[in-house]
Amino acid sequence: QVQLAESGGGLVQPGGSLRLSCAASGSIGNIIDIQWYRQAPGKQRELIAAITSGGSTNYPDSVKGRFTISRDNAKNTISLQMNSLKPEDTAVYYCYVAIGTPYYKRAYWGQGTQVTVSS
């Protein structure tokens, strides 16, 4: 079993920055996908960042240029650097890791961390 422990959420003013971390522990095995999602009240969960095993990243237009996903392999930690935060970024943020093979994936989610962007 893999455990994903999130941290770094909190209250920040518009234009500010936060760095979310997701520490993975347990039987990691082969990682297929590493992603960050967010979900605002009354909204569907949204994919906001993804990084492949080769290091390629992908972001939707809503966060492109402001958010950066990264991985510290030595520490088994996934990070999401969020800059130029806007009130619309307010949501619960979840890290996601899929482990296994393309034909059999096990999905693991962080517990979620609240990010509130407000004056």
Q: What confidence tens digit (pLDDT) does each residue in 105-117 have? A: 899 999 999 999 9
pLDDT confidence of residue 78: 92
85 pLDDT above the threshold of 80: yes
pLDDT in tens, 3-49: 999 999 999 999 999 999 999 998 887 888 899 999 999 999 999 99
- Using alpha carbons only, what angle is made at residue 66 by residues 59 and 8, rounded to the nearest 5 degrees? 95
pLDDT at 53 over 80: no
Looking at residue 39, what is its pLDDT?
A: 98
What backbone torsions phi and psi does residue 103 show, to the nearest 5 degrees? -95, -15
Q: Calculate ∠ Cα 62-4-44, nearest 5°.
A: 35
